[in-house]
Structure 1
């Protein structure tokens, strides 16, 4: 495997047959690198084709520009096969991109407004947790709103359980207990989520969206942006359901994420 240009007959392009990672890199050092590579390998194994070699991947962050950047890795099954039938001996293709990056610092400090989405995620345990290339549900959900004051949209599965945001994981504190949705049926298990679960007592739960309205604090997060505290939650029509004032409760978990990603702590 090596860096490549994507041809038109690539199965990742034709069928979403592949996986990807977006990694925060600071001066050539990747953050949460082992977790990203473990998920990438797990995804390739689950889809049934070889993952790139570790030494090949380990060389990539060092090619990033100075400062803060994003390393995007895409691994597809490659070309070949007949229709949906995959080739018996796949030759996976690795695509690499380095992009400059700056986090949305105002959202750390001031918090964000979010809304529920009407779209429901399909339930498929076989690919649950993976960052696979089939992201059409997320595209459709993100197109439900155009208001720049709304930072993210929250998604439920087809049984009505709250799962995630369009590109972030979800955390809340309710009755003093930290919780996050269980992701064994659908959704992306983020690397920042994994790191916070390893450090803090955070219960993985099945919950309906109404539970969020009972929370003392609500956050969205991923391995690029860290955690954003939520100050307002709307329904899918843009009507406010509940508001929060950012306080010490928000900052405690948020600063754990800041430290894990090398960002400054927040007062």
Structure 2
């Protein structure tokens, strides 16, 4: 079955500020049979990003029409919203005309990672601190690109990132949760990092503390998970240091599955096995 795509004339001019400066935002939305998952949470984050960056959000009616273009099955809708063109150098125009681009892509999750867990490593790169942009899914992602370039081993699913002060933040593309002494915790994202939509829902549904924690916390945790609104929940089966040495391993047990069940219910995914 062919996958619907965005209109062909979605070219972006060279003076687009998103292309030139990363002056914009994006959202990656899981869509099942034309229905977007966690859509209100994605729109809330997009609206907050527009408020912080200081340009107008497209009308909700315009945005709400897009998931219906995805068609049947499981799809990814990617939205990119830039400030548009104009201004002088870094100085933005006094009145912005934002440019919205979107694309629909076929998607299949990775159920073996749900079931068996994943191997993850610590990254050498440290995220810069910028509280004004903390939580936003903005287009400036060079730190994530450089962190992801640290390894090529296909057995490594992701890398854990700290900020320049040494506090845990996230992985290169997912949020981070762990259980310590029976308590669920996740990094406090007050100075950098992306506040994921699934993370927001888990904070609403479960008793989770947002904390500042050093990376050694993970090796001593009873369970660790990576989560996002597209892939769902990957339990950690092994954690490595930045040189590939094993720091900790976990059997995937009841605690892993309970947390996964709550998250996957929000996305329509099963727990730990293929559909």
Same fold (TM over 0.5): yes
**2:46 is the alignment partner of 1:40:** yes
Matching of residue 78 in structure 1 with residue 84 in structure 2: yes
After superposition, give the CA deviation of every residue in 1:151-200 in whole Å (9 maximum; x if it has no partner).
00000000000100000000000000000000010000000000000000
Structural mapping, 1:25-104, within 5 Å:
25-104=31-110
User: Equivalent residue for 1:203?
Assistant: 209
Quote the residue 2:29 is aligned against. Answer: 23
Question: What is aligned with 2:130?
Answer: 124
Equivalent pairs counted in the alignment come to 266
Q: In structure 2, what is the Cα distance between the partners aligned to 1:177 and 1:224?
A: 25
What SS is found at the alignment partner of 2:179? strand
Following TM superposition, by how much is the alpha carbon of 1:238 offset from its aligned partner in structure 2, in angstroms? 0.6
- TM score, norm. by length of structure 1: 0.98
Q: What aligned pairs does 1:155-234 form with structure 2 within 5 A after superposition? A: 155-234=161-240
Alignment match of 2:141 (pick from 135, 140, 143): 135
SS of residue in 2 equivalent to 1:187: coil
4+ long deviations beyond 4 Å: none
Q: TM-score, normalised by structure 2?
A: 0.95
Deviation at 1:4, TM superposition (A): 3.6
Q: Is the 8 A contact 1:28 1:63 kept in 2?
A: yes
The residue aligned with 1:152 is 158
Instruction: Measure the CA separation in 2 of the matches of 1:44 and 1:265.
Output: 35
Structure 1: gaps (5+ residues): none
* Mapped pair 1:9 → 2:15: yes
Q: Measure, in 2, the Cα distance between the counterparts of 1:252 and 1:179.
A: 15
RMSD: 1.1
